[in-house]
């Protein structure tokens, strides 16, 4: 089975700061890094390092082709990454002393996906393959429509959340992966419990993975709920934690692991990720995750 990830590829500009900059404030950063990023790229790297077969579909500037090396080195196929005249997407990321982040995005070439490119990729897929999407590229609705036309399953991580884009697509996806804030925004409620109830009522056939940060994760499927706690670690950078979890979770679903073991492995990968600075560079390999789980008797 193959995961076709129609996802963003960004250049991340990461600034270490004592606090997030306030309106009208000019401040000096404590450190700066320029690294590969984007939710799409990070999730592909996590899938690749989890030893899942993944093909990334997207676009970058023709001047930035070296960005693909990290994807390739992580086991990701970049055959379907187009080289464009449009600048590569980028992100300005502030990481504060509490390991929280604030991010500003520029879409750039991430919004250059065409219907021809979409159909060229999906026409090669088999019906047991999956399509993975975030909300950082264009033509999300067309990708889902064409994926269903070709009989593929669709996993959707609607981040950054835009309810006007996301809500019309909900009945056409198979797996929704959201964090607690995204779930509350999607349902226009102010508690996780209300969001969970709303999602299960409105979309009874939808499989849902609801991540709860330090509280762990819940898997919801037609009245069934599987809950797995998070590992307790000292976090230094949460930038790629969610993307790492998603990559490992989807990889687990493609394997023979039970849903509980899949979520536990994804939580372990995410825990390892937050213990390191960086985005894609912090995403662990499957042997590293296995060692971590053995050390924690998981």
Mean pLDDT of 65-74: 96
The predicted structure's pLDDT at residue 239: 85
Mean pLDDT of 55-64: 98
pLDDT of residue 298 exceeding 80, the answer is no
Q: What superfamily does domain 3-9+38-88+110-295 belong to in CATH?
A: Ribokinase (3.40.1190.20)
The predicted structure's pLDDT at residue 278: 82
The predicted structure's pLDDT at residue 99: 83
pLDDT above 70 covers a percentage of the chain that reads 100
pLDDT of residue 18 exceeding 80, the answer is yes
pLDDT band at 105 (very low <50, low <70, confident <90, very high): confident
State how far the Cα of 282 lies from the Cα of 155, in Å rounded to an integer.
Answer: 23
The predicted structure's pLDDT at residue 245: 98
The predicted structure's pLDDT at residue 202: 96
Mean pLDDT of 281-285: 96
How far from 133 is each of 7, 43, 94, 289, CA to CA, in Å? Answer: 6, 10, 25, 24
pLDDT band at 185 (very low <50, low <70, confident <90, very high): very high
So where are the chain's domains?
3-9+38-88+110-295
The predicted structure's pLDDT at residue 103: 87
The predicted structure's pLDDT at residue 279: 85
pLDDT of residue 233 exceeding 80, the answer is yes
State how far the Cα of 96 lies from the Cα of 93, in Å rounded to an integer.
Answer: 10
User: Any idea which residues carry the catalytic annotation?
Assistant: 243
Mean pLDDT of 270-293: 95
State how far the Cα of 237 lies from the Cα of 16, in Å rounded to an integer.
Answer: 10
State how far the Cα of 45 lies from the Cα of 54, in Å rounded to an integer.
Answer: 9
**CB-CB neighbours of 60 under 10 Å:** 29
The predicted structure's pLDDT at residue 297: 83
Q: Is the Cβ–Cβ distance between 152 and 172 less than 8 Å?
A: no
Greater confidence, 196 or 103?
Answer: 196
pLDDT band at 89 (very low <50, low <70, confident <90, very high): very high
The predicted structure's pLDDT at residue 221: 97
The predicted structure's pLDDT at residue 17: 97
Q: What is the mean pLDDT of the chain?
A: 96
């Amino acid at each position: 089975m193959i995961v076709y990830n129609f996802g963003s590829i960004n250049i991340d500009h990461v600034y270490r700061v004592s606090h997030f900059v306030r309106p009208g404030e000019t401040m000096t950063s404590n450190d700066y890094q320029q690294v590969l990023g984007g939710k799409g790229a990070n999730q592909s790297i996590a899938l690749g390092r989890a030893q899942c077969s993944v093909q990334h579909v997207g676009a970058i500037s023709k001047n930035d082709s070296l960005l693909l090396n990290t994807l390739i080195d992580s086991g990701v196929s970049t055959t379907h990454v187009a080289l464009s005249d449009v600048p590569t997407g980028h992100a300005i990321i502030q990481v504060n002393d509490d390991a929280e982040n604030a991010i500003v995005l520029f879409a750039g070439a991430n919004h250059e996906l065409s219907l021809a490119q979409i159909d060229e990729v999906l026409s090669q897929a088999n019906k047991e393959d999956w399509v993975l999407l975030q909300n950082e590229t264009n033509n999300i609705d067309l990708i889902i429509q064409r994926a269903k036309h070709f009989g593929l399953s669709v996993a959707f991580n609607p981040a950054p959340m835009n309810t006007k884009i996301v809500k019309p697509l909900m009945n056409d996806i198979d797996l929704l992966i959201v964090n607690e804030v995204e779930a509350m925004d999607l349902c226009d409620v102010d508690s996780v419990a209300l969001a969970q109830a709303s999602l299960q009522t409105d979309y009874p056939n939808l499989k849902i993975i609801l991540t709860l940060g330090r509280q762990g994760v819940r898997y919801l499927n037609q009245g069934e709920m599987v809950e797995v706690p998070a590992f307790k670690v000292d976090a230094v950078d949460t930038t790629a934690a969610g993307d790492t979890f998603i990559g490992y979770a989807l990889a687990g679903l493609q394997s023979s692991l039970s849903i509980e073991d899949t979520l536990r492995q994804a939580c372990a990968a995410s825990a390892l990720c937050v213990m390191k600075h960086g985005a894609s560079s912090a995403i662990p390999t499957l042997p590293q995750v296995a060692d971590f789980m053995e050390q924690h008797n998981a």
